[in-house]
Amino acid sequence: MDFSLSAEHEAFRRVVRDFAVAEIEPYAEEWDRTHEFPTATVLEMGKLGLFGLVFPDEFGGAEADFLTLCIAVEEIARVDSSMAITLEAGVGLGANPIFRYGTDEQKARWLPDLVAGRRLAGFGLTEPGAGSDAGATASRAELDGDEWVINGTKSFITNSGTDITSLVSITVRTGPNEISTIVVPTGTEGFTVEPAYRKMGWRASDTHGLRFEDCRVPADNLLGERGRGLPQFLEILDDGRIAVAAMAVGVIQGCFDHSLFYAKEREQFGRPIGSNQAIAFKIADMQVAVDAARLLTYRAAWLRDQGQAYRQAAAAAKLFASEAAVDATRQATQIFGGAGFMDESPVSRFYRDAKVLEIGEGTSEVQRMVIGRALGL
């Protein structure tokens, strides 16, 4: 059993880390303070090839394994969760549904720009009355000749309102007992992007509510098989849970790095605070947490890359890593003390950013449901 990464994976990690340290970390606090979505930086992430890692060469992708994407997400989350979720959602929730379920014509029309990172796509599943219970979708689409007429609302949709967003894929009720997926290009009449949310964290990430009022799109904008919308996106979420776990690994690693440095530099009572067991033990716990979370995440990615069943492993990785990240940010803030309470400190931003990891792409409670069902409970 070999736990080491390949030389290619390690070289790729260094490339992404160098980019994150040079192009994201110095500006993350300002973006967080101003709630600015840094389009130029996202486009540079595209030029680096990050949005196309897991897609075939025919669409401009790198044909890398899923573990490679997890490494990229982890390294960016190590310095800024907003840019990490922009990448994770752009790949997993934006381009991946088109790639997995789209027709040849749909793929040719939309994937090249999404894979290149020139454009972004959103995924509209959540509604005011349909969160963890995604089957409670109330938005509807009725077929009128050769067009779908869409009415409804979506909530908390990432990458849905940027100036480079090209489309959203949404789940809608196309019959009394039927949920399907339809692609709605931006600018379509009757499609309104609501004002951006005021958020606790991920403040440089783009998040909006969406409204559809007699919004008409061509009938061939149906994505995948009619009536299969919910199973399709539950499959998409399995991938997303691994990538969110990778985000959590990056957050824990960032907390560990900052805390270790601070504990060696900050002095109280005439000595570094890291010489106190109360501080040293917190940092030791972070080291254990990041190792355990990374192993669970990489195992889930490996199972997916090997074509083996991975739903339970994805849920386990997401559950453990997200809860460990929330705890790590709390402990890091405690280590920094008053400085950690100030937003100029990165651990303050990490603390606010981490909580949603226990909520997005399936709450911790949903992950426990998935694991319990896999155990026959």
- Domains of the chain, by residue range, sit at 7-120, 121-226, 230-374
For 136-149, what is the mean pLDDT? 96
Where does the pLDDT of residue 241 fall: very low under 50, low under 70, confident under 90, or very high at 90 and above? very high
pTM, rounded to two decimals: 0.96
CATH of 121-226, one of 2.40.110.10, 2.40.170.20, 3.30.2130.10, 3.40.710.10: 2.40.110.10
Which tokens belong to 25? 């970390």
Q: Average pLDDT for residues 336-361, to the nearest whole number?
A: 96
As a whole number of angstroms, the distance between CA 125 and CA 100 comes to 17
- For 228-236, what is the mean pLDDT? 91
CATH class of 230-374: mainly alpha
Q: What is the largest CA-CA distance in the chain?
A: 79
pLDDT above 90: residue 276: yes
Clarify whether 361 is annotated catalytic: yes
Structural tokens at position 317: 């990785």
Check: CB of residue 20 under 8 Å from CB of residue 13.
Answer: no
49 contacts: CB under 8 Å, gap ≥ 6: 62, 117
Cα separation, 84 vs 243, in Å, equals 10
- Residue 69: what pLDDT? 98
User: For position 63, what pLDDT does the model report?
Assistant: 97
Residues recorded for the chain: 377
Kindly tell me if the per-residue pLDDT of 1 is higher than 90.
Answer: no
> Hey, what CATH topology would domain 7-120 get?
Butyryl-Coa Dehydrogenase, subunit A; domain 1 (1.10.540)
Q: Which one, of 200, 24, 164, 19, lies nearest residue 90 by Cα?
A: 164
Confidence grade of residue 131 (pLDDT, cut at 50, 70, 90): confident
Residue 135 pLDDT:
86
pLDDT of amino acid 347 = 97
> What are the DSSP E strand ranges found in the chain?
120-124, 140-144, 147-158, 165-175, 178-185, 191-193, 207-218, 267-268, 271-272
User: Helix or strand or coil: residue 160?
Assistant: coil
Rounded to a whole number of angstroms, the distance between the first and last alpha carbons of the chain is 31
Beta bridge partners of 169: 123, 183
Does residue 233 have a pLDDT over 90? no
Report, as an integer, the average pLDDT of 311-321: 98
Q: Check pLDDT > 90 for residue 236.
A: yes
| Res. 319: pLDDT tops 90 | yes
- Evaluate if residue 359 carries a pLDDT over 90: yes
| Summary mean pLDDT of the chain | 97
With a cut of 90, say whether residue 2 has pLDDT above it.
Answer: no
pLDDT of res. 134: 82
Q: What is the DSSP string of 194-206?
A: PPPP--SS-TTS-
Which one-letter amino acid corresponds to residue 348?
A: S
Which stretches of 37-190 are DSSP H helices? 39-47, 66-77, 81-89, 96-101, 104-116
For residues 24 and 80, the answer to whether their CB atoms sit within 8 Å is: yes
Instruction: Kindly state the percentage of the chain with pLDDT values over 90.
Output: 96
Q: What is the pLDDT of residue 42?
A: 98
pLDDT in tens, 72-118: 999 999 999 999 999 999 999 999 999 999 999 999 999 999 999 99
List, for residues 153-205, the tens digit of each pLDDT value.
999 999 999 999 999 999 999 999 999 999 999 999 999 999 999 999 999 99
Distance (Å, rounded) from C-alpha 66 to C-alpha 354? 23
Q: Which of 58, 323, 361, 365 is catalytic?
A: 361
Assess whether pLDDT exceeds 90 at residue 39. Answer: yes
Contact 77, 249 (CB under 8 A): yes
